[in-house]
Structure 1
Amino acid sequence: MTLETTTAQLVDDEIAEVADERRGSRGRTAARAVLRTLVDIVLVVWAAATLTFLAVKLIPGDPLDKLMAGIQDVTPEMRAAVAERYGLDQPVLVQYLSYLAGVARGDLGVSYQRGVPVTEALWAELGATAELTAWAMVVAIVASVVLALATSGRRPVARLLAQGFELIAVSTPSFWLGIVLMTVFSFGLRWVPAFGGDGPASLVLPVVTLAVPLIGVLTQVLRERMEHALHEPFVTTLRSRGLGESAVRSRHVLRHASLPALTLSSVIVGSLLSGTAVIETLFARPGIGRLAVDALQDRDIPLVMGVVIFAAFVFIVLNTLVDLLYPLLDPRLRRNR
């Protein structure tokens, strides 16, 4: 064996060893990331369940009164039997620990008022809420992109008008906006129905009401990031190569500006889920938001806690997806890794 062959073999062995170490390091990093995600999910769900349980317990009134409503001549024995059935005769700490144990098993309990498992009640309303939030998200994204492209880097008048719209959109209460839209377009012009969840027309007002605040937030983020990106060297290079202004903005600047907006997606969905409680109640639509409001009014503790845990789970899952997608969309992060 010659010296050159021996040296080449040693170099190949070192390269293979370094590659194995890198693969092992990436594997350990991935395992730690998965473990950290699981721990985050458990902590968020536990915190949501604990805080909601305490908040519901602090609401004045006795859940038994709601459970026994409409029953004539309620005897102490009947109240005791109902309390025992739902575990309300146990100390608060025992109720809390029992509920946490059920959540760990995937059992969110039984709704006091509906008499069905909480998971079944949530599943029955999930479709209506998903439809509403999905359309609101689509409208918000499309409108924000159009407004940001039209106003970023333009004359001061256009920028001032955009800032004024963003401020009004973000600060306007959803219920007030919904009432105004309902009064004008439903009661006045009679273009779309005001209440109910039947047909595409019934989605128009709720979707617009839910989307307007998001349009204000997303437009502000996209416009500011686009104005910053327009002064980056890569934009000057693209223009010097003869690329048109519209192509520079839509193909390159918008993509560069949309990455920071991606980090807001979990917050946006959380805002949508919380906003559905107002919108679905105002427009008398079915959905998880209205289900939560009804459950609070009825002191339906298992159902209230089920809604909160569901929202917390959606929030943490979306955060995890954003963490996974961001490096895939931003090559700079991949190189750093």
Structure 2
Amino acid sequence: MSRYLLVRIGQSLLAVWGIVTIVFVVTRMLGDPAVLLMPLGTPDAQIQELRNSLGLERPMLFQYADFLRHAIVGDFGLSYQYFRPAMHVVLERMPATITLTGSALLVGSILGAITGFGAALARGRFLEFPIMCLALVGQATPVFWLGILLIMFFAVELGWFPTGGWVGAASLVLPTAALGIFVAANITRLFRSSMIETLSEDYIRTAKAKGLTSRTIFTVHAARNALIPVITMLALLAAELLGGSAVTETVFSWPGVGRLLVQAIDSKDFPVIQAGVFLIATIFVGINFLVDLLYTVLDPRIRLGK
């Protein structure tokens, strides 16, 4: 177990280093930050002065070394737009994104597990068809389009919820529904397939031969092992929602990191972009690390290396 843990920690640290390096390279590939930050027609002397103040005249290797040294402690410099430490700006928006992502995952995973379990039990019966049709539609529907429909109907027409922003708990309902439906659709299809595959295993037939009840077989033996791929999917969805909910946050004017990054890209606020990408990527790696540890609880064969 200790060797497995050390290997996973090493892989996680290597992944974070790779992400930080990619962020550095990509921001430099966008062009000279000094030129991008200054308006058109700015004299070369002022551009050179800004370049010197940002340390951009130094060799690229030295810039990378300084960037890496500061990134380790979360220092990405001052925001060009807010004139405050970029990481502080991102951290202020992170609770809103985590709240939205967590709510969507909670609602979507519960709904998806129930419908997926029901579809597996109803395999070959009439109930399976409408469940899988709804799951397919939910998976194929663009989240931003669904969000616009929810706003038009429940916020504009009925006036039940705010159209956007944060004005209380009611503001969380529509964006959670938009993202939660997408999560539920993915979980439904995967959990159904995983349950059907698990129910065909030899140990399930052995449990039936021993006289165990169907409820015990489904809930204790089959569901536990069927959850392993579902947990993987939840980890990927969590990362996708954390990093890819920018469109949803923009549609609902949600004060999260995704919307902040969109605004930072528009204003060429590179420190905020770097800090946001670094923080989201670190959370993504951390989630995957925790999932790997959870695998060892659900399936001891992973822990024992079998």
Tell me the TM-score normalized by structure 1.
Answer: 0.79
Structure 2: unaligned runs, 5 residues or longer = none
Q: Do the aligned residues in 2 keep the contact of 1:218 with 1:261 (CA within 8 Å)?
A: yes
Out of 218, 243, 248, the residue aligned to residue 279 of structure 1 is: 248
Pair 1:107 & 2:75 matched? yes
Distance in 2, matches of 1:98 and 1:242, equals 63
Q: 1:87 and 1:115 mapped to 2: Cα distance?
A: 17
Q: Does the 8 A contact of 1:56 with 1:299 survive in 2? A: no
Query: Which of 191, 211, 224 is residue 241 of structure 1 equivalent to?
Result: 211
Quick one: structure 1 residues 247 and 189, their matched pair in 2 at CA, closer, same or farther if it must change by over 3 Å?
Answer: farther
Alignment match, 2:11: 40
In terms of mean alpha carbon deviation, does 254-263 or 206-215 score higher? 254-263
Cα pair 2:37 2:268 within 8 Å, conserved: no
C-alpha distance in structure 1 between counterparts of 2:113 and 2:176, whole Å: 17
CA RMSD of aligned residues (A): 2.8
How far 1:324 moved relative to its partner? 1.5
Choose the corresponding residue for 2:223, options 231, 239, 254: 254
Q: For residue 134 of structure 2, what is the amino acid of its counterpart?
A: F
What residue in structure 1 maps to residue 239 of structure 2? 270
* Distance of aligned partners of 1:114 and 1:65 in 2 relative to their CA distance in 1, 3 Å threshold: farther
Name the CA shift for 1:182/1:247 in 2 (closer, same or farther; >3 Å). Answer: farther
Cα distance in 1, alignment partners of residues 215 and 146 from structure 2: 34
Q: Which runs of 4+ in 1 moved over 6 A?
A: none
**What does 1:1-337 correspond to in 2, within 5 Å?**
30=2, 32-59=3-30, 63-64=33-34, 67=37, 78-90=46-58, 92-154=60-122, 155-236=124-205, 237-238=207-208, 241=211, 243=213, 245-246=214-215, 248-333=217-302
- Measured in 2, the distance between the counterparts of 1:277 and 1:35 equals 34
Q: Deviations over 1:91-116 (max 9, x none)?
A: 55543332122223442222221111
Q: Distance in 2 between matches of 1:281 and 1:326?
A: 35
Within 2, Cα distance between the matches of 1:196 and 1:64?
Answer: 33
CA contact (8 A) 1:67 1:113 kept: no
Query: When the two structures are superposed, what TM-score results if normalisation uses the length of structure 2?
Result: 0.86
Contact 1:66 1:298 in 2 (8 A): no
Q: Which amino acid aligns with 1:273?
A: L
Could you give the per-residue CA deviations for residues 20-69 of structure 1, whole angstroms, max 9, x where no partner exists?
xxxxxxxxx62x44543343233222322232333333436x64466556
> Which amino acid counterpart does residue 219 of structure 2 have in structure 1?
S
Question: Which one has a bigger Cα radius of gyration?
Answer: 1
Deviations 1:77-136 (A, max 9, x none): 554443333224445554333212222344222222111112211221111111111101
Note if contact 1:45-1:312 (Cα within 8 Å) is conserved in structure 2.
Answer: yes
For 2:203 and 2:96, locate their aligned partners in 1 and report how far apart those are by CA, in whole Å: 44
Matched residue count: 304
Q: Return the alpha-carbon distance in structure 2 between the equivalents of residues 111 and 325 of structure 1.
A: 38
Structure 1 residues 190 and 247: CA distance shift in structure 2, 3 A = farther
Cα displacement (A) at 1:211: 1.8
Q: Distance in 1 between matches of 2:258 and 2:304?
A: 42
1:25 is aligned to none
Q: Distance in 2 between matches of 1:206 and 1:184?
A: 13
Instruction: Return the alpha-carbon distance in structure 1 between the equivalents of residues 283 and 53 of structure 2.
Output: 31
Determine if contact 2:143/2:248 at 8 Å carries over to the other structure: yes
Question: Which string of whole-angstrom CA distances, capped at 9 and with x for unpartnered residues, describes residues 219-248 of structure 1?
Answer: 1111111122333455453586363x4554
Q: Is the 8 A contact 2:119 2:132 kept in 1?
A: no
Residues 153 and 230 of structure 1 are in contact (CA less than 8 Å); yes or no, is this contact kept in structure 2?
Answer: no
Residues 66, 182 of structure 1: alpha-carbon distance in 2 compared, 3 angstrom cutoff: farther
Counterpart-to-counterpart distance in 1, 2:182 and 2:136? 9
